[in-house]
Structure 1
């Protein structure tokens, strides 16, 4: 997850896509169990994405950047009987966590490690492709979208979610603000997680990838945290590569960041009697069709 000052394009000359992917993989492997445990914070978003996908029995579904299979598990229940769900991710630890949580369920998705930019899936095999909070993570999103288009059957749909504009997602940017205040800028620019936050930008990106019948809708939710420590931990549990980078800092620096985030949360004190903090987040959910029958 990028920090302020790192909103440069992934195509910038100093951007190392291979190193970026390695850091993301290590980070998401590091947080696999806690990422799954924090699913309740994003439950409304997950439900809205799955509803937008309009899944039906018998459909073949690919869930990209599936992590521990949070979307995939629910999708698998919606396509029975006769359907199938393949959950893929670059972080094998995430997939192992998802498989562990599914146990021996008969309608569990299949899990397979895969790079969304280079899928080992035959052309036109899927009826739906899901990508929850993932497009902005890919170093070459246009390549990932080309793969989504390729594996979809004509008339099939991609359904994805992205963070909205930075100022509408305090859930993420308050931690980023704290990091920017206390740490020097990163040596290598990282793509911003907010780069598809404007509907026009997301629409143009999907259209350029060959999709039509594009529908983009906002989805807002809020997360309550008992205290600043709980917020900071939740950020780390979602942050992937950023969590890996922060985890490599000296313990004193990590503690200083955790303590300092209180200042950034001052505007979000919860006044409904629960105490703590209430952090809003605005997202976009997009559905788009591969042209054809």
Structure 2
């Protein structure tokens, strides 16, 4: 069975709905992951940066602190709700627009850095987004992408997927898994096939900002993917999913383990 992927409009609707949840529950972890991308892109020599899927703009504040004073950032997000929140920050030397990652409104060979944190696995066609990154980068430019990494270590993302599979079995696989780019060899080959000549990869991680059962279940209760499952299945199926997710979270809490985001990072040179 071919795995279905979201359309651009579905991605936009998802992040519009998720904007408040993201800021309250996921932004700190995303910022931690973003900080692990910056040491390898030579920020001190970066002057014109393209940052896609910029979210609420908090990560841009961190990036600005590491860049030369004459640098400028062009940041974009598919979600108009996220763009509005980023604009409210009044970030210096930063141009913020709404745009799709696979159709950026920039000329060719325009930037010396390109950053895409935790977005490549959500777009309809990863190769289109990577080719667009290659297009807007100047020769010698550096691109960096991060995606969900090893499923067994990315417990916060893996638990809801496992709970769904335990309840509905193979039906859950009709939707593309957020881990579909987690194989480092395959992802590096994909990036090279899109035009980049040197491609490196590494793994990093960030903890979920909470260790208790109640706060973890509150996270999932407002998690857009869980809400999508609630809309996709009947009430009985959703309740069985929620019960199974509760059991999986309880197991983690009882073992006194911290739920984690595991991330694969790919660094590519044009």
TM-score, shorter chain, exceeding 0.5: yes
CA drift of 1:185 comes to 6.1
CA drift of 1:244 comes to 5.3
Kindly tell me: are residues 270 and 79 of structure 1, through their superposed partners in 2, closer, same or farther at Cα, counting changes over 3 Å? farther
CA drift of 1:268 comes to 1.9
Matched, 1:269 2:253: yes
Say how many residue pairs are matched: 268
2:267 is matched with 287
Aligned CA RMSD, in angstroms, stands at: 2.8
Contact 1:58–1:82, Cα closer than 8 Å, also in 2: no
Q: What TM-score do the two structures reach when normalised by structure 1?
A: 0.79
Q: Pick which of 144-153 and 133-142 moved more.
A: 133-142
Kindly tell me: are residues 176 and 229 of structure 1, through their superposed partners in 2, closer, same or farther at Cα, counting changes over 3 Å? farther
CA drift of 1:257 comes to 4.7
SS at match of 1:287: strand
1:215 is matched with 200
Q: Distance in 2 between matches of 1:113 and 1:222?
A: 29
2:15 is matched with 28
Q: What TM-score do the two structures reach when normalised by structure 2?
A: 0.85
Return the structure number with greater relative CO, CA threshold 8 A, min gap 6: 1
CA drift of 1:227 comes to 3.1
CA displacement 1:240-282 (0-9 Å, x = unmatched): xx255246467887676545422112442266xxx6x511332
Q: Pick which of 255-264 and 39-48 moved more.
A: 255-264
Q: Distance in 1 between matches of 2:58 and 2:91?
A: 14
CA displacement 1:154-182 (0-9 Å, x = unmatched): 00011111111322211111122223334
Contact 1:136–1:162, Cα closer than 8 Å, also in 2: yes
Kindly tell me: are residues 252 and 189 of structure 1, through their superposed partners in 2, closer, same or farther at Cα, counting changes over 3 Å? closer
Structural mapping, 1:54-93, within 5 Å: 54-56=42-44, 59-93=47-81
Q: Distance in 1 between matches of 2:227 and 2:174?
A: 16
1:245 is matched with 228
SS at match of 1:225: coil
Kindly tell me: are residues 260 and 230 of structure 1, through their superposed partners in 2, closer, same or farther at Cα, counting changes over 3 Å? farther
CA displacement 1:20-77 (0-9 Å, x = unmatched): 3322211211121221233223333121112222213661111112221233232233
Listed as ranges, the gaps of 5+ residues in structure 1 are 1-7
> Which of 210, 215, 238 is matched with 1:230 structurally?
215
2:146 is matched with 161
Listed as ranges, the gaps of 5+ residues in structure 2 are none
